[in-house]
Amino acid sequence: MMLQLALIGFGNVGREFARLLLSRREWLRRSEDIDVEVLAIATKRHGSLLSDKALNLERVLHELEEKGTLRGYGPELTELSPLEIIERCDADIMVELTTLNIESGQPAIDHIKAAFRAGMSVITTNKGPLSFAYEDLRGIARSRGAQFRFEGTVMDGTPVFSLVEKTLPGCEITGICGILNSTTNYVLGEMYRGKDMEQALEDAVRFGIAEADPSMDIDGWDAAAKITTLANVLMEAKSSPRRVNRVGIRDLIPEAVTNAAREGRKIKLIAYAERVKGVVKTMVRPELLGPENLFWSVDGTSCAVTLKTDLMGEITVVESNPNLPQTAYAVFSDMVLIADSIKRGVASSS
């Protein structure tokens, strides 16, 4: 089958996804009977492309890496806005890869709605739409018979949503807790070894670990958006990041970390979701953990989440020091799952 994509946002994750498509092109054809074409790419600063036939991904990557712009690519260059590109592109799947807006989840929410209206399924790695408008978006997807997948929004490519969807039928998720932000986990680990927070955060930015705005990490907003996303999807919380009881690590004094180290304990930024009297409450806060806690050994840029269930007890998933290919793989795996559903004539959303 032919699968045609529109990529809205083409930063680090988008480019890594393009490389993955190129490297797995033969596998897709041989194992999944899928040919993938990208018809549109929208970027914020480097120009955008729209075509009625496949774009040359090798050339797209070359133009960006060698010239820093797509403006020399050819007649496919367009000045259309992302919404206009979505409306005019005849793709099967819109991949939304823009950055998180913690204030409202926009414009990604509008991008996704436009894609559903245009008859596309949607993959996103953006937490904003799910943390602000998941129920609404899920309803639109179902009414349109479209797929809506988002494995890359939390814990990179580690299967959390797919784990629940595909392997825990009938299980109710009664609570969630985890280390969900790589940057703060890295910074706290460096402080544990004696480095000050400012230097550790500078290192995180230099290594490409931190958000574009590192305050999103250390003030707990990224973790708040992720726990809200998990709670909205897995616990029907109908919440938003603004409703998270949030304390970041900005005001954490170095002595607290060194004192914990002397006692054989560690401080970790932990996110929670739990149902209290029928309402899902969410929280992000630094906690002092001992070696008996599963999260004590989750160091570096690793993350972990524990799902509390009524039938299977507690299930903990750990990702070990992920990097860009893991997030790109989340998009890739979501794409394959959508293609499989299309082939089977199944219309659903996660």
Domain range list for the chain? 2-157+325-344, 166-321
Q: Catalytic residue numbers?
A: 226
Amino acid identity of residue 320, one-letter, is S
- Specify the CATH class of 166-321 in words: alpha beta
Q: What pLDDT digit, counting tens, does each position of 129-172 carry?
A: 999 999 999 999 999 999 999 999 999 989 999 999 999 999 99
Burial (CB count <10 Å: 0-12, 13-18, 19+), residue 277:
exposed
Amino acid identity of residue 121, one-letter, is S
Averaged pLDDT for residues 171-183: 97
Amino acid identity of residue 61, one-letter, is L
- Interatomic CA distance for residues 8 and 198, integer angstroms: 34
- pLDDT at residue number 323: 86
- Specify the CATH class of 2-157+325-344 in words: alpha beta
Amino acid identity of residue 212, one-letter, is A
- pLDDT at residue number 79: 95
Percentage with pLDDT > 90 across the chain: 91
- pLDDT at residue number 349: 46
Averaged pLDDT for residues 84-104: 96
Residues 300-336: b if buried by 16+ CB within 10 A, e if exposed: ebbbbbbbbbeeeeebeebbeebebbbbbbbbbbbbb
- Interatomic CA distance for residues 138 and 129, integer angstroms: 10
Domains 2-157+325-344 and 166-321 agree in fold:
no
- pLDDT at residue number 210: 83
Q: What pLDDT digit, counting tens, does each position of 232-270 carry?
A: 999 999 999 999 999 999 999 989 999 999 999 999 999
Q: Are 273 and 134 in contact (CB under 8 A)?
A: no
- pLDDT at residue number 233: 98
Q: What is the mean pLDDT of the chain?
A: 95
Residues whose CB is less than 8 angstroms from the CB of residue 42 and which lie 6 or more positions away in sequence, other chains included: 6, 7, 8, 9, 10, 48, 82, 85
Length of the chain as a residue count: 350
- Which segment, 192-201, 212-221, 292-301, is predicted with the most confidence on average? 292-301
- pLDDT at residue number 347: 47
| pLDDT over 60 at 346, yes or no | no
Averaged pLDDT for residues 5-25: 97
- Interatomic CA distance for residues 107 and 94, integer angstroms: 14
Averaged pLDDT for residues 72-76: 94
The CB density around residue 177, as the number of other CB atoms within 10 Å, is: 23
